[in-house]
Amino acid sequence: DTAVSQTPKYLVTQMGNDKSIKCEQNLGHDTMYWYKQDSKKFLKIMFSYNNKELIINETVPNRFSPKSPDKAHLNLHINSLELGDSAVYFCASSPRLAEGTDTQYFGPGTRLTVL
């Protein structure tokens, strides 16, 4: 069974469109994250949710809106897609948010290409 799953794996879309990426974890973790990995492989945190509550919002354009219906799910909706949004988006979860207990379990990633 996949611990952290994301759909879709690949997403190719036109500039200006709106798209969503879904994430689910079956580890019973309290905290979930969205990361963006650019072409240089730099991993940048975007959002963190702890038990459905937004904890970290890292100066991400408000075109990006996360939503956590329950602590096992964290979805990412992106409005008005831009070329610069092309990247791999990773969902991750950790047992808790506190330092030392936030080992990240990553999903397989969603490769977003904006044309």
Q: Which stretch binds another protein (CB under 8 A): 18-26, 38-46, 66-74, 75-83?
A: 38-46
User: Site residues for another protein, window 92-111 (CB under 8 A)?
Assistant: 99-100, 102-109
DSSP state of 2: -
SS3 58: coil
- Pair of tokens at residue 62: 């408000």
E strands along 2-109, which residues? 4-7, 10-13, 19-25, 31-37, 43-50, 53-57, 64-70, 73-78, 87-94, 105-106
User: Site residues for another protein, window 43-62 (CB under 8 A)?
Assistant: 43-45, 48, 56
Q: Out of 1, 28, 41, 69, which residue is the one contacting another protein (CB under 8 A)?
A: 41
Site string for another protein, 60-99 (x = CB under 8 A): ------------------------------x--------x
Residue pair 17/70 in contact (Cβ under 8 Å)? The answer is: no
In the complex, which residues of this chain contact another protein (CB under 8 A)? 40-45, 48, 56, 90, 99-100, 102-109
